Amino acid sequence: MHPTRKLFVLPRSTYYEPDQRQGASLIRARKPFLIKNVITGLVMFGITASIYVYTIRAVSQDEFEDVKVPEAPGRGVSKEVGGK
């Protein structure tokens, strides 16, 4: 009696299942390129990661454990004044 009107549906690719998983045909189509693409992706990620690691290590603070820190200046002045 009253027909349900369909709302506008976004065009969906038939290569993805309704729950957005890749369909079998898409996986088959990707197969010749999958391994090379993954390796390329890992290499690119590796280059970026190594640049970050190097940069952060380069600008990180130096180790100062071997330097003797002189005492606070206030105590030194009063000693001198007292000596004179």
Partner 1 sequence: MRAQICQKCLAPSKLLLRRAPTTTTSPFAHQAFPATTARRTFLTGFRKTTVEKDGQVRPPLSSELASPSDHSLYKHAEGTRVLLKPNNLFHPMDKSPSPSMRERAANIKRTAYCPHPHHRTANSPTHIRFTCPDCGIPAYCSEEHWAEDYQNHMLICDALREANEDDHDLRSGRFFPEFEYPGEQMDEALVNFTNWDTLLYTREFRAINDERSLRQVTKLLTYPITVASFVHELSPYDIRHRLTVEGLKSVSALRYTLHPPRTGAGKDIKGIRVTPPPVRLFILGARSESSLPREVWHQLTHMFPLSTFHLVFIGPQSMMNRDAELPLPDRTPANPFGAVVERVSHNMKISTFVEYYHTLHDTGTFKPYDPYFDMFVLFHPGLGHPGSAAEWESTLPRLLDTKCAILCTGFTEEDMSRDVNWVHDKCKGEFDVLLEPGENRFRSLRWDINE
Binding site for partner 1 (CB under 8 A): 1-2, 13-15, 23-26, 28-29, 31-32
Taking the complex as a whole, the smallest distance from the CB of residue 34 to partner 1 amounts, in Å, to 12
> Torsions phi, psi of 51, nearest 5?
-65, -45
Of the two residues 23 and 41, which places its CB atom closer to partner 1 in the complex?
A: 23
How many angstroms separate the most distant Cα atoms in the chain? 111
Closest to partner 1 by CB, 5 or 75: 5
Q: Smallest gap, in angstroms, from Cβ of residue 4 to partner 1?
A: 8
C-alpha 84/C-alpha 77 separation (Å) is 11
Based on CB atoms, which residue is closest to partner 1, 25 or 55? 25
Measured from the Cβ of residue 26, the count of other Cβ atoms closer than 10 Å reads 15
Tell me the two tokens of residue 34. 């999958």
Q: CB of residue 9 vs partner 1: minimum separation in angstroms?
A: 16
Does residue 16 contact residue 23 with C-beta atoms inside 8 Å?
yes
